[in-house]
């Protein structure tokens, strides 16, 4: 239900009393920091063909073109700053006895805000993976050009093989450890917080269904309704950077009384 004055008190009580919390974030959480989303009308996939830039086949056909788009994305991430939504989620981590943040975002804004108990479902835009060995490297630790050519494509520091962005593309599986940790947390939580995601990718991976099976309360913070709104006990139709700090201040104040 959408928040009304009558349900606001119930929401604050629910957040204050929760003990096992699972947070699921998407591109909307970083949009407030100025990072373009992928699926919005004006998102990246409206400008760039996902079959070219977000499939392994597209990468093999033109690795220079694909790498240069991800290099641009890295520059956008570097210029962005965590917003108050990221910061509030990081603060929640130490408040709840059991906590896991699962993000679909490939940027590092959650980490820069202070989040540590977290997993990334779709990879990390700062990482590259060797096509030969599967070893993963942080591109920030390497001397890479701002724009790639055939001769300067990222290559494995160990074996010299071509590397790809360490991103989960269409048709690929998410990392097993991240998925299993998310399933375990969503299945045992008493509160699930959905932030800035439509839940359209793989149906939100079933996390909301796992949470409901454990009789958890689901709170969604998103300006627009999405695929997971129907599961939410509370829907807050605002950006996370606006809603979360305001709500969290009330929750922490109540816990101190």
pLDDT, average across residues 158-169 = 97
Question: The whole model's pTM is what?
Answer: 0.93
Domain span(s) for CATH 3.30.1600.10 in the chain: 36-79+124-167
Q: Indicate which residues carry an active-site annotation.
A: 122
| Topology classification of domain 1-34+82-122+174-257 | Rossmann fold (3.40.50)
pLDDT, average across residues 123-139 = 97
Q: How far apart are CA 171 and CA 96, in angstroms?
A: 35
pLDDT, average across residues 50-62 = 92
Q: How far is CA 45 from CA 31, 119, 120, in A?
A: 15, 24, 21
Domain span(s) for CATH 3.40.50.1220 in the chain: 1-34+82-122+174-257
Q: What is the pLDDT of residues 2-13, one digit of tens each?
A: 555 567 889 999
Q: How far is CA 109 from CA 26, 47, 55, 90, 157, in A?
A: 12, 24, 24, 10, 27
CATH number belonging to domain 36-79+124-167: 3.30.1600.10
């Amino acid at each position: 239900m959408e928040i009304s004055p009558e349900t606001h008190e119930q929401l604050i009580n629910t957040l204050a009393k929760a003990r096992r919390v699972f947070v699921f974030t998407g591109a909307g959480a970083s949009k407030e920091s100025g990072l373009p989303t992928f699926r919005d009308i004006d998102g990246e996939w409206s400008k760039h063909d996902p079959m070219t830039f977000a499939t392994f086949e597209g990468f093999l056909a033109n690795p220079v073109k694909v790498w240069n788009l991800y290099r641009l994305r890295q520059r956008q991430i570097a210029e962005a700053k965590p917003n108050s939504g990221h910061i509030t989620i990081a603060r929640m981590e130490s408040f709840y006895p059991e906590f896991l943040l699962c993000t679909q975002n490939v940027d590092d804004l959650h980490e820069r805000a202070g989040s540590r108990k977290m997993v990334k479902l779709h990879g990390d835009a700062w990482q590259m993976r060797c096509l030969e060995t599967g070893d993963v490297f942080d591109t920030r630790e390497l001397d890479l050009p701002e724009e790639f050519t055939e001769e300067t494509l990222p290559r494995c520091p160990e074996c010299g093989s071509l590397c790809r962005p360490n991103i989960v593309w269409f048709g690929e599986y998410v990392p097993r450890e991240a998925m299993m940790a998310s399933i375990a947390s969503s299945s045992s939580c008493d509160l699930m917080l959905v932030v800035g995601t439509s839940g359209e990718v793989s149906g939100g991976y079933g996390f909301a269904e796992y949470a409901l099976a454990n009789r958890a309360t689901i709170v969604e913070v998103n300006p627009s309704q999405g695929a997971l709104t129907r599961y939410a006990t509370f829907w807050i139709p605002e950006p996370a950077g606006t809603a979360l700090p305001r709500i969290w201040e009330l929750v922490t104040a109540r816990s101190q009384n």
